[in-house]
Structure 1
Amino acid sequence: MDRLGSLNTFVQAAELRNFTSAGRRLGISSSAVGKTIARLEERLGVRLFVRSTRSVTLTAEGQAFLERCRRIFAEIEAAEAEMAQSNGVPAGRLRVSMPLTGMLLTPAISAFAVAHPNIELDIDFSDRLVDIVEEGFDVVLRTGAAADSTLMTRVLGTYSYVIVASPDYLARAGTPTEPEGLLSHACLHHRWSTTGKLEGWRLKRDGAYLDLALPTTLICSTIEPLIEMAERGLGFTAMPVFAVRRQLDEGRLVSVLDRYLDDVGTFRMMWPAGRQLLPRVRAFVNFMGEHLFAEIRQG
């Protein structure tokens, strides 16, 4: 078991190319990762990593050893899958990548954790485009179109957008009745961390999108601060409706220009094709398919 533990430490360090990140994932210190790797290299009699102050890279021997270790852990996962299928209880560690907006959907995730106590959830919230196979994710949840044809995909549902501001801001600055009215207001924007571009406010009139140079009063790479700042009266922001459902219901935010917004986003689950779907992955995909879209609609 000690050997399996050291092999797992090596795999995490090799895939992340960073001892600190590997330690964080494993719940140990970076120095503990380094000592484990050093003992492993001594036992094998080869150097697995080339380490510098800025980077960690695999040697040729390390790359070959990584491929062998991946096959070993794949066999262990397959054995676990067979046992899980035999007793009908999904179990084991499930690595999931979710967009930052996924943090607003924690009720569905929490419900899954309660329904499947034998599954160990390891969730990475990030808007970056992850390599599902290379980084060892079992499944990812993403918005937008599916860009990788090598992945299996399940659409969970669609959601609409709203432009919102606080009642205090509207009382102070006025309520625009046409999209062009936003040009004289404070506008709070979301910037995609993956591209560095601002997320557009897709306003339409007579079926055509409007090209408006909206003020960039404030820009943020995550949406939660934008929602709070809109609540505090700093200006307008455009959000998925599920992200601000509670604030709208409680009157802390008010939507405007609804008739000029008919754009929709898509939530989808993706997982690697061509491999046996582990019971814990199937359980997560099916559960989210049944519950997540309801969560989006209800907020």
Structure 2
Amino acid sequence: MDRLSSLTAFLRSAESGSFTDAARQLGLTPSGVAKAIGRLEARIGVRLFHRNTRSISLTPEGEQFFGRSKKILEQLAAAEDELSQSLVKPHGRLRVSFPLSGMRSMPEMSRFMNQFPDVELDLDFSDRLVDIVEEGFDVAVRTGDIRDSTLMTRVLGSFGHNIVGTEAYFELHGLPTRPSDLRLHRCLYHRYPSTGRLSPWKLVDDDQTDFHVPAFATASTLEPLLHLTLEGTGISYLPSYLISTLIEEHRLVTVLDRFTNDIGKFRANTNRH
């Protein structure tokens, strides 16, 4: 037995007044408990028990050792419970990068904070590519596929896209009935800030070929496009999570739904190491 096991055997024997009862509690033999306590006494140089053929009792030194030993094991058990609870209950600082459109996930963040009050959230909102390791992020939530093999990714959900505009806009410019009609419309594009490329409107015409839509204006984030669309300046190709409420409120109208062919994914990206 190691020292902790010997100490446990001593306490069980002192509490029960019997090596046999202590052995039963510990799943050992009485002789094994007696030998462990004998080694403990030899190590500390003090006799802990009075022994006879029928019972055992603590010596004065054993009484003193019992009080100290019991307190040590209670503190050890409390430390184990505390550590176990800390592993079960999330706590500490969590630094998360969201795209700018992630502002709309604040209700979920509020529920998270109420559920895990010991977690300190540090939220960053940006559409740029972030370096998770260098910038100290725990998680980066983004849409689309990742190309960095050092990252682990988990799909959080999916979303579609819609071409939207206001009723006033379509009354003025007409309602497109097929993708080729968009050449006559003011199409507002999202431009990726990291590459400068335009995010394509993924439309499929009746002949099943991708269709390119000319740009009337571009913006590096989605929020300005949504604002311009709501003002009736043009029409936009926007993710459903950004516009679903506005569609339900009849502030925006969708067109060409049967020609849209784009399912995006929310991904939580973390460092693999």
TM-score, normalised to structure 1, is 0.61
Question: Which runs of 4 or more aligned residues in structure 1 lie more than 2 Å from their structure 2 counterparts after TM superposition?
Answer: 82-89, 205-213
Contact 1:101–1:223 at 8 Å: present in 2 too? yes
Amino acid at match of 1:231: L
Q: Tell me: CA distance 1:194–1:87, structure 2 relative to 1, closer, same or farther (3 Å).
A: closer
Counterpart of 1:265, as a letter, is G
Closer, same or farther in 2 for the Cα pair 1:100/1:179, shift >3 Å? same
Query: Greater CA radius of gyration, 1 or 2?
Result: 2
What is the correspondence of 1:145-156 to structure 2 with a 5 Å cutoff?
A: 145-156=145-156
CA distance in structure 2 between the partners assigned to 1:87 and 1:184 by the alignment:
59
Cα distance 1:139–1:84, how it changes in 2: closer, same or farther (>3 A)? farther
What residue is the counterpart of 2:183 in the other structure? 183
1:228 counterpart = 2:227: yes
- Could you say which residue in structure 2 is the equivalent of 1:99? 99
Partner of 2:12: none
Equivalent-residue separation in structure 2 for 1:125 and 1:164 (angstroms): 25
Q: How does 1:1-299 map to 2 (within 5 A)?
A: 83=83, 85-86=85-86, 88-206=88-206, 208-214=208-214, 216-274=215-273
- CA separation of 1:181 and 1:139: change in aligned 2, threshold 3 A: same
Counterpart Cα distance in 2 of 1:205 and 1:163:
14
Q: Does the aligned pair in 1 maintain the 2:128–2:193 contact within 8 Å?
A: yes
**SS where residue 121 of structure 2 aligns?**
strand
User: Structure 1 residues 87 and 157, CA, compared in 2 at 3 Å: closer, same or farther?
Assistant: closer
Is contact 1:169–1:235 with CA below 8 Å preserved after alignment? yes
Report the 3-state secondary structure (helix = DSSP H, G, I; strand = E; otherwise coil) of the residue aligned with 1:152: strand
Gaps of 5+ in 1: 1-81, 275-299
Measured in 1, the distance between the counterparts of 2:87 and 2:158 equals 35
Q: Within 2, Cα distance between the matches of 1:213 and 1:269?
A: 31
Q: Distance in 2 between matches of 1:145 and 1:164?
A: 25
For residue 295 of structure 1, what is the aligned residue in structure 2?
none
Unaligned stretches of 5+ in structure 2? 1-81
Contact 2:204 2:211 in 1 (8 A): no
1: CA distance, partners of 2:116 / 2:241: 25
Secondary structure of the residue that 2:254 maps to in structure 1?
A: strand
- 1:84·1:91 contact (CA, 8 Å) conserved in 2? no
Q: Identity over the aligned pairs, expressed in percent? A: 46
Between 244-253 and 146-155, the greater mean CA deviation after superposition: 146-155
Q: Which region of structure 1 is more displaced relative to structure 2, 82-91 or 240-249?
A: 82-91
Compute the RMSD of aligned alpha carbons: 1.8
